Amino acid sequence: MTIDDFVSPSIVGRLSAQERVLAPQITDWRAMVDSIFIDAAYDGEGFNVAQADIPERRRDLVSGSYILARPAGSDRPIAVRITDMLGEDVVVIESRG
């Protein structure tokens, strides 16, 4: 699975508020991301982390590309939790079908 893009409304909002001082320029979406957690068979109730991407150093970025091991016979959706650098979470659920 690959994450192609991510926009943090909070980070963009803060940068836009400072636009007079510094023009906002984010060339790589991964610079806004603190961590990514993936649930390969999301049941809608609990988030069971099957894969986590948490860079070791502050200057490192998340990968954005992952190989998932899905439970055999599972038709449950994949859920991705992205936490931005301000600590705000966004959860995206990929529905099957």
- Domain residue spans in the chain? 9-94
**89-94, strands of its sheet edge to edge:** 51-53, 33-39, 78-84, 89-94
Q: Which residue has the higher pLDDT, 12 or 97?
A: 12
Q: Per-residue pLDDT averaged across 77-94, rounded?
A: 94
Q: For the segment 36-45, what is each residue's pLDDT rounded down to a tens digit?
A: 999 999 999 9
pLDDT at 46: 93
Q: For the segment 18-76, what is each residue's pLDDT rounded down to a tens digit?
A: 666 555 677 899 999 999 999 999 999 999 999 999 999 988 999 999 998 888 878 89
